[in-house]
Structure 1
Amino acid sequence: MISSEHPLLTAVRNGDTRAVAALLQEEYGTAHARGPHVAAALRLAAGALDHRVLDALLKLADLDALDLDGIDADGRTPLLRAVDRGAHDIATALHFAGADPRVTDREGRDALAMARHWHTTGTGAGVHRRTVRDGNGEICRELVIGGQTVRDGHTAILTHLESCCEIATPFAELLDRAMAEPEVGHPVWGAAVVAAAGRKGPALPPVWDAAAALRHHPDPLARYFGADVLRCINLYDESGEDEESPFDTPLVDLFLPWVEQEEDPRVMRPLAAGLADAMDPRAEKPLPALTRHPDAQVRSWAVGGLHRQVQQANTDALAAVLACTGDTDAQVREAACRALLRAQADDPAPCDALAACLSDSEEAVRVTAAMQLALRDDHRGDALLDALDGTVDRTSPYYWPLHDVWRHRQAR
């Protein structure tokens, strides 16, 4: 007699995140499902390198039931298998969820040792590396695993694990690891920047100095790394609200002249992000002009930094944000909608611009505009939000913003 597969496992095989979420929440009747098939579902999702389904399982299932450190037939945990295959997003998701990197395989290697091994010798078993050009024409390295293509993440995983284990990889080594991948969106860039910017105490000032020195480097990739490390050092600063950040003013001192002379659009992204996050009022000056920059990511960061100026009814800032609701890039339009939330209540232009975005071609822009209208007590987006009722679960990016809308409505 052939037994049918459990619906949860079928949903995972099909990559059906909505069905996975529904089964976890409805069939098991709890926000933290503990059913007997949950652990098998985790291994199936991790093995298929399906990050969306894995994320749903990690959010909605009971962590004990998932058995994150369970050993498979090959003697490996899901984390070790992800490290072996260079699947950075899967490995880090499992690690952040609580998977223990100290568990060893049959050869006695833990996650760090395995990552270091493949970083040194090449890719894992059954994995093939190839070099291609992305949609922007930039060279990037990929891994082909069982017919699936993923980014080569062995070095990124190693860098992440070293940082978590408080291994202080030298700044020059982190820079070399990042620059070995010419695509700045590769995971190793983020891992290397976080590792450098996350230093504590006396180890941090030398990192600041080394990153600042890169602003004059002839290679834009080095300048990008330096700018991103500097802005993350300031972003990660743990000074209290009543304390002045020791890095905020120095960052603005560096970034204001730098942004005027920088020509590479990639380097402009962390520069715009750093100015957008800075508390020094001087940082706000170039942001309206940067909303018209040719690079969409620069425009998005600049718009995101104009919230305070919009709230203060700064004419130039408001005009820039209103213009960005019609930007060619959806991410910029969405950022502009968010920036209009705190605009003056007696000015009809912000709500009219948000209402115009209700017919945007991108769902994320439409939903964001409707949520901002609701929070401004304008009912023109209510029908769109009401249509979402019952369709949004905790795996949706709309879940918590919509929760704020429902709470606002109840408070009226």
Structure 2
Amino acid sequence: MTEPTDPDEAVAALCAAVAAYDHEAAEELMAAGADPDRALPDGTTPLLRAVEGGSPAVVTALLGDDARQRLPEAERGRLLEAARRWYGAGAEAELRRLTGAAGPADVAWVTDSGYDSVPEITLGGRRVRAGHGAVLTDLEWEFRILAPVAELVARGVRSPRRDHVDQNASLHVLNSRVSAQTWAEAVAFRHDPDPVRRGFVVDVIRYRLWGWAYTAHAGWYEKECNRILVEWEAVETDAEVLARLLDALGEAEVPDREAIGLRRAGHPDPGVRRWVPGLFDHWVAVDVPRVLSPEVRRALRELCRDEDGEVRAAAAGVLAGEDPEPADLELLPDLLRDPDPEVVRRTLRGLGSVTRAVPEVAELLVRCLDSEDQDVRLSAAHGLAVRDDPRTPEAYAKVGPLGPGYENDHRPAGLWRWKFRNLPDPS
């Protein structure tokens, strides 16, 4: 975009970006020198309008890198008061108060930035985003105000959606505060009687594992987080919280993974069973192949026959990624004819990670080349390529031209790799 050089034009453009929730344009204007703190005729500033607008992405863009030093105490207080007012009343209620509008509001979930989502509310000719909890959390952190841990947890669970901006802001700040007291207070909520709060703590722990992977404290936090997850899983009774625990354990290197998976494989809730295969899907070390025990293979086969399609898909993806045993070969045709297309896709992707040539598997892959689903055909062709099957060029010809979405996919390169291994060097 072309940045205006006149200060008045720059502020007008910045206000337009704020009103449009265009945080990228706001960042460009800020970089070009637009003043987010300039007083407007109505007594507001572009930054205050952003705070009231409820988009943490836009607020972050206008805060810049020096907001705590740049803004006088009174202005910081005004911004915090506005965020607290909108968050306390609720975006829709505050919008009704300001507009006097009656009738239903128009509510749509939108992406604020990256993977974060927020409700966008339109009423009485005005539009706001209900991300004021995240805005308040971000402002407090920027201004070095340590909100009580209980308050951050309460903001994190106000919306049931895990991608809500409020929840992600609370997770970020809780894990940016490095004190042992903050950590202890946060994980203590795993004993809370409310399963919603307990579920939020699972994400606090996962966030800590991800965020501290390359720091000096990584070893301690990894052991502490893994210890808590394992001990907690053994006593958790709520199915939704238990599912989140198994999901987290599937990303952790704990010696009890297999035993936990076997114990939970027959859980009555499919939401729990869906995460069991992930507990069996891990490598001991880069140069040590994974070996599934007979008990695990039997459990995976049973899960591949589960009444729930997501359970079957998860199990099929793990089992198909192993060198097949006779019982697996009997199961594969049914998985590749499963009425749930995701089961078929996950099975084929699993088969594409096994290089050992098994004639029965190769024939199944060839049959899948006639599928109407291009992604299925691509996985089948890739499965033949990694097995150095001579039919690979014909298979890729059946895949057809690929549209958008495959730019970073490893499967299209399977044909090139097959040619490199199997065709003579033209030089």
TM-score by length of 1: 0.60
Which deviations, in whole Å up to 9, do the C-alpha atoms of 1:186-219 show, x marking residues without a partner?
Answer: 553343233313434xx2x223312332233223
Deviation at 1:286, TM superposition (A): 0.7
CA gap 1:180/1:99 in 2 versus in 1, 3 angstroms: closer
Structure 2, unaligned runs of 5 or more? 2-17, 35-41, 68-74, 108-117, 284-288, 356-361, 371-375, 379-397, 419-427
Match of 1:119 among 87, 92, 95: 87
CA–CA distance in 2 between the matches of 1:304 and 1:391? 30
What is the aligned partner in structure 2 of residue 27 from structure 1?
Answer: none
What is the aligned partner in structure 2 of residue 178 from structure 1?
Answer: 156
CA–CA distance in 2 between the matches of 1:196 and 1:324? 37
CA–CA distance in 2 between the matches of 1:277 and 1:212? 18
Q: Which has the higher contact order (CA 8 A, sep 6+)?
A: 1
- Does the Cα contact within 8 Å between 2:300 and 2:319 map onto a contact in 1? yes
- Superposed CA RMSD: 5.2
CA–CA distance in 2 between the matches of 1:358 and 1:85? 49
Which deviations, in whole Å up to 9, do the C-alpha atoms of 1:253-308 show, x marking residues without a partner?
Answer: 33333222221123213322332222121244212332433444433333222212
Secondary structure of 1:253's partner? Answer: helix
Greater C-alpha radius of gyration: 2
CA–CA distance in 1 between the matches of 2:29 and 2:273? 40
Structure 1, unaligned runs of 5 or more? 1-33, 35-45, 133-140
Secondary structure of 1:227's partner? Answer: helix
Identical pairs, percent: 26
Match of 1:238 among 213, 236, 246: 213
- Does the Cα contact within 8 Å between 1:355 and 1:369 map onto a contact in 2? no
1:3-402 map, 5 Å: 86=54, 92=57, 102=64, 115-116=83-84, 118-123=86-91, 125=95, 144-145=121-122, 152-159=130-137, 168-181=146-159, 187-200=165-178, 203=179, 205-239=180-214, 245-308=219-282, 311-340=290-319, 342-343=321-322, 345-347=323-325, 349-350=327-328, 353=331, 355-376=333-354, 378=362, 379-380=365-366, 381-383=368-370, 384-386=376-378, 389-394=400-405, 400=408
CA gap 1:151/1:272 in 2 versus in 1, 3 angstroms: farther
- Does the Cα contact within 8 Å between 1:338 and 1:368 map onto a contact in 2? yes
Secondary structure of 1:411's partner? Answer: helix
Amino acid at match of 2:155: R
Deviation at 1:238, TM superposition (A): 1.8
CA gap 1:320/1:190 in 2 versus in 1, 3 angstroms: farther
- Does the Cα contact within 8 Å between 1:291 and 1:320 map onto a contact in 2? yes
- Does the Cα contact within 8 Å between 1:84 and 1:125 map onto a contact in 2? no
Which deviations, in whole Å up to 9, do the C-alpha atoms of 1:168-189 show, x marking residues without a partner?
Answer: 5431211122344466675533
User: Number of aligned pairs?
Assistant: 334
Match of 2:410 among 404, 407, 412: 404
- Does the Cα contact within 8 Å between 1:268 and 1:298 map onto a contact in 2? yes
CA gap 1:216/1:371 in 2 versus in 1, 3 angstroms: closer
CA gap 1:256/1:102 in 2 versus in 1, 3 angstroms: closer
What is the aligned partner in structure 2 of residue 13 from structure 1?
Answer: none
CA gap 1:117/1:151 in 2 versus in 1, 3 angstroms: closer
CA–CA distance in 1 between the matches of 2:292 and 2:151? 46
